[in-house]
Structure 1
Amino acid sequence: MQKLSLSRLTLSRLLIAAAIGGTLALTPLTAAAFESELFSLKNRWEYSVTELPANERESTLKSLAGEAEQLAKQHSDEADVLVWQGIILASYARERGGLGALGTAGDAREVLEQAIKIDPQGLNGSAYVTLGALYDRVPGRPLGFGNSDTAERMFQRALEIRPDGIDVNYYYAAFLQEEGNDQAAREHAERAVNGTARDNRQVSDEALRRDAEALLNQL
């Protein structure tokens, strides 16, 4: 998939359009329009989770989840779209919190699993990272589907694809700390701190690098 390069002014206009209620067109998109919509969706998600005040994130992510759903309906065979839908749904579930978020978390799991069936790499491992975080954070049965063993397996698969990723190493380090394995948690937190931010995810990766530094200071 060819990367699109948007100017800062263009990105600002996209964010403004989203803030006043811009939505995805429901008509079929050309390849170029599809990539542009996906690029816009990714950047608005990144802005939402790194820049928006906490009291604005839930409603914004709910809107983005709706847009992602529409885009996924038009391109249900595109793994990247499904991964981004899953990422946005997982972020929305995290902001909602409580029992009300379990359905959203389940929807995120479903679309991420669909993405992996289409592309086992799952947006270069991002599908597995998000699934790992979901299985780690969601309550276990009978309330939810949370499972430490499955979370571990998802993180390990992501590491096989992208061993130096900031995101997978940070989330895995946080998981390992919760499991009481401080030595391994320290190792992966260090790998997150020293990892290379992805070109298309620099803002969110740098935010996770700071989180990894904070975690490392606790260990």
Structure 2
Amino acid sequence: MSLKKLLISLSLAAGFLGNVTAHAETMAEGIAAEQHAWAKGRYSLPEDKREDYFAQLQTRAHDFTLRFPNQAAPLIWEGIITATHAEYQGIFSARGTAREARDLLLKAIAIDPNALDGAGLLTLGALYFKVPRFGSFGDDDKAREYLQRALKVDPNNVDANYFYGEFLLEQGDKSGALMYLTKAVHAAPRPGRRDADEGRHAAALALLIKAQQ
């Protein structure tokens, strides 16, 4: 990436961080801002800039959650952002951050497990099978339980099918993985989530091709 493109990318990222939830008057506006900021950091920002980006986004997400106490949706998105932040941290820092994400998501699903089409359930399920590398609280049985619950809430959800397909592939269930990853690749785009859906569809296609080999 050229220096000019890098500076433009960082400038855009800073703009998202500066605007996330700062001027949101409603919970829906704030959630939409967090969704787009997450997608920007996850799929467009250079990888070596993502840890700092998501650290700042995590702080802003927490501040937003405090504005809407006892609401599942802000907790879910704070949990998603916190879990994503953990992915880009060193192993020792990531342990604590992953636990924070788990606790936020558990609190959210206790309020409303169906909120945001089961996003809390599927993110929690993904955490439970991805976190063992941190030596923390990985549990394949819980991962399967939460991911299956998420699929019951929204069987056609691109994220739920992607993560369950990834989980099954890691479990050695190749035929099951192919079925769910194919559903993820062909999942209909969600209104207002084009940036996230494009990134997830690309990831699902790459994993599907890997599973077919």
Q: 1:66 to 1:118 in 2, by over 3 A?
A: same
Q: 1:194 to 1:59 in 2, by over 3 A?
A: same
Corresponding residue for residue 123 of structure 1: 116
Corresponding residue for residue 62 of structure 2: 69
CA distance in 1 between counterparts of 2:19 and 2:182 reads 40
> Does the aligned pair in 1 maintain the 2:21–2:29 contact within 8 Å?
no
Q: Does 1:167 align with 2:159?
A: yes
Where 1:155 maps in the other structure, the secondary structure is helix
TM-score (norm 2): 0.86
Corresponding residue for residue 213 of structure 1: 205
Q: Structure 2 residue aligned with 1:190, among 169, 174, 182?
A: 182
CA distance in 2 between counterparts of 1:94 and 1:172 reads 18
Corresponding residue for residue 37 of structure 2: 44
CA distance in 1 between counterparts of 2:29 and 2:187 reads 28
Q: Which has the higher helix share?
A: 2
> Does the aligned pair in 2 maintain the 1:86–1:108 contact within 8 Å?
yes
Q: Which runs of 4+ in 1 moved over 6 A?
A: none
Structure 2: gaps spanning 5 or more residues? 1-10
> Does the aligned pair in 1 maintain the 2:13–2:41 contact within 8 Å?
no
CA displacement, residues 18-64 of structure 1 (integer Å, 9 cap, x when unaligned): 45x56766xxx9x8354433322221111111110001111010000
TM-score (norm 1): 0.84
Deviation at 1:99, TM superposition (A): 2.6
RMSD over aligned CA atoms reads 2.3
Number of positions where the alignment pairs a residue of Structure 1 with one of Structure 2: 201
Q: Does 1:56 align with 2:54?
A: no
CA distance in 2 between counterparts of 1:92 and 1:173 reads 23
Corresponding residue for residue 93 of structure 2: 100
Q: Does 1:151 align with 2:143?
A: yes
Deviation at 1:14, TM superposition (A): 8.4
Corresponding residue for residue 15 of structure 2: 17
Q: 1:98 to 1:164 in 2, by over 3 A?
A: same
Identity %: 35
